[in-house]
Structure 1
Amino acid sequence: MSSNIYFNTRGKFTIRRSMINIGTRLHHSIAPKHALKTARNLLLTPVRSTSNSDDPEGLLRSTHLTSEGRLNTYQIGNGPVWILSHGWSGSASQFFPLMEHIAAQGFTALAYDHPAHGQSEGRHAHLPAFVQAFDELIDNVDDVVGIIAHSMGSASVLESRHPKVDALPLLLIAPVLNYVDNLYDMVGKSGYSMKLFGAMITHIEDKYEYSLDTINPYQKLISRQHDTTIVHDKRDRFADFSTSESAANTTNNINLIATKGQGHGRVIKCDSTMAAFDSLI
């Protein structure tokens, strides 16, 4: 159900949406603890994406232990390191073509599966867990010279609290910059009880000491001093292109490359993304 919520672009009223709203509100009223547990299972459980293709030549698989569980990592190449961070219900395998391109330019491409994604440990995921895992990973990787992130992975990189990040160039692919607004909008459109959703958010905020009110990837992006390149399709149905356009128009540190016909996923391995990486090095 989580993907239906986070990637639902339909906004009109339906009987199904109305029934979800009534059912989740009633559940929360009658059995609040059980409703909260159910909400976590429904809303915080991503679809595990796996690759059906063979591993690229020279791919090294490993694991990295974090407080969010054991993360699976994937590495190609030699030289200074570019870290790659995927989005919700994605996996590191989405980056394999781009990683091969990075390695061919004399760098190491290091991607990883976020908690509860791909082959990493965990059942539930959310932005604070993304940020925590990323910060612990980058803290233990030497010679990092840049970061590439897709979709919600972009939000987690921009929300990172690690000092390394501010001094590195970023390549953001179809970034979700209006994360909080997008999250509430999608949950609202699904019909899910907003009161129950709010209770789940409060539980996460208390556990991670991470207030939702402080999450603002857009503001953190336009406040950055280092270069950022964004590759974003104009007709992306899941991440708002106009928000990326607004950010690029706000500061000279952001270069926006607009694509057509690449959507939210194919854009990861399109020619424009490969060229964007080349421009950053």
Structure 2
Amino acid sequence: MSSQKSTIDRFINATRSTAVRAAFGTLERFAPGLGVRWATNLWLTIPRFNGRARSAVPPGTPFTTTWRNRRIRGTAWGAGPVVYLVHGWGGASAQLLPFVGPLVASGHRVVTFDAPSHGASDPGELGPRRTTIPEMARSLTAVVREHGQPHAVIAHSAGASSTFHALRDGLRPARLAFLAPMAQPDELTMVFAATLGFGERIRTGMARRVGEIAGTPWEDFDMPRMVTRIAPPPLLTIHDPADRETRYADSVALAKTWPDAELVTAEGLGHWRLLRDPATVARAVEFVTAPVDERKARYRAS
């Protein structure tokens, strides 16, 4: 469980953690409905992004896509088959800038954007600093409608979850690269509950409530289970076994259940350094820009 604790710690001031645990423990016993509402609000709250761009990139073209009267802001570079870069929960498009230069140099158009309630984009339907995986997926679909059919998607963390959700809704890339994906969130809810001090009544109620708000059953967020219901493109997943934000076991499960998947173990990079590691960038770019064989081309056209 400790491998996921840093994700949850960002929601709670350390000086208040004892009081929070005590309050949740009381709610678990006497008022689980109140505990479910509180836990759900924390689960859907996006931690503040304190990162910055760390890579020089060629000049890009800013754009704004409107989705349900909300502005999704991003940047595009280059020309050719389109590769979309999708950031994770609490992240920003700036984190994926190291991929831009190599992809443009390989003859691709690169499009990245800030999801609702992230970065420069407008708040989502739940208000500032709150969103859901399906809403992030719909923003990706809206950007794709404007910028064209994806040749590939490179996605980080919960961005992989939103990309997978978009696949189920009809997104058709020829290749995918997932970096430290969150693929089995049910395990993370157990860490969440243990950290905040509540039990199964609040935990299961929170999962159910999150699904209701998101408009999809909680079970639908489990990628290894749901991948059997679609015809997915080839996948490369890269993960550090010591990642403190998402579980390496998620990538292992994906590699076992995804019909055409490769798992690369990247040790010593954690969750964030993975995005600016030259070897990781090169491996992901090589995978998504490789020629598409006839079988995979048929998937893309289906």
Shorter-chain TM-score: which interval? 0.7 to 0.9
User: Deviations for 1:33-54, whole angstroms, at most 9, x for unmatched residues?
Assistant: 8993x65654322133252558
Q: CA deviation at 1:26?
A: 5.5
Identical positions, percent: 19
1:260 aligns with 2:267: yes
Structure 1 counterpart of 2:293: none
- Count of matched residue pairs: 271
Contact 2:190 2:203 survives alignment (8 Å): no
User: Deviations for 1:133-157, whole angstroms, at most 9, x for unmatched residues?
Assistant: 2233323331321111001111111
Do the aligned partners of residues 225 and 57 (structure 1) sit closer, same or farther apart at CA in structure 2, a change above 3 Å counting? closer
C-alpha distance in structure 2 between counterparts of 1:269 and 1:155, whole Å: 21
Contact 1:154 1:175 survives alignment (8 Å): yes
Q: Which runs of 5+ in 2 are unaligned?
A: 290-302
Contact 1:68 1:133 survives alignment (8 Å): no
C-alpha distance in structure 2 between counterparts of 1:68 and 1:125, whole Å: 15
Q: Which runs of 5+ in 1 are unaligned?
A: none
Q: CA deviation at 1:203?
A: 4.8
**Which residue identity does 1:220 align to in structure 2?**
M
Structure 2 counterpart of 1:190: 195
C-alpha distance in structure 2 between counterparts of 1:244 and 1:67, whole Å: 33
SS in 2 for 1:279: helix
Q: CA deviation at 1:162?
A: 2.7
Summarize the alignment of residues 97-176 of structure 1 with structure 2, pairs less than 5 Å apart: 97-122=98-123, 123=128, 124-160=130-166, 161-165=168-172, 167-176=173-182
Structure 2 counterpart of 1:236: 243
Q: CA deviation at 1:268?
A: 1.6
C-alpha distance in structure 1 between counterparts of 2:163 and 2:263, whole Å: 18
Contact 1:257 1:272 survives alignment (8 Å): no
C-alpha distance in structure 1 between counterparts of 2:153 and 2:92, whole Å: 16
Q: CA deviation at 1:24?
A: 4.0
C-alpha distance in structure 2 between counterparts of 1:273 and 1:5, whole Å: 27
Contact 1:146 1:170 survives alignment (8 Å): yes
Do the aligned partners of residues 30 and 230 (structure 1) sit closer, same or farther apart at CA in structure 2, a change above 3 Å counting? closer
User: Deviations for 1:9-31, whole angstroms, at most 9, x for unmatched residues?
Assistant: 8xxxx996553133246579789
C-alpha distance in structure 1 between counterparts of 2:284 and 2:31, whole Å: 53
Alpha-carbon RMSD across the aligned residues, in angstroms, is: 3.3
Contact 1:67 1:133 survives alignment (8 Å): no
Do the aligned partners of residues 196 and 31 (structure 1) sit closer, same or farther apart at CA in structure 2, a change above 3 Å counting? closer
Contact 2:74 2:113 survives alignment (8 Å): yes
Structure 2 counterpart of 1:181: 187
User: Deviations for 1:183-217, whole angstroms, at most 9, x for unmatched residues?
Assistant: x1232122254655655555543344311122211
C-alpha distance in structure 2 between counterparts of 1:261 and 1:275, whole Å: 16
C-alpha distance in structure 2 between counterparts of 1:34 and 1:191, whole Å: 11
Do the aligned partners of residues 23 and 171 (structure 1) sit closer, same or farther apart at CA in structure 2, a change above 3 Å counting? same
Worse-superposed segment, 27-36 or 116-125: 27-36
Contact 2:241 2:265 survives alignment (8 Å): yes
Contact 2:83 2:109 survives alignment (8 Å): yes
Summarize the alignment of residues 11-30 of structure 1 with structure 2, pairs less than 5 Å apart: 17=17, 19-24=19-24
Do the aligned partners of residues 175 and 205 (structure 1) sit closer, same or farther apart at CA in structure 2, a change above 3 Å counting? closer
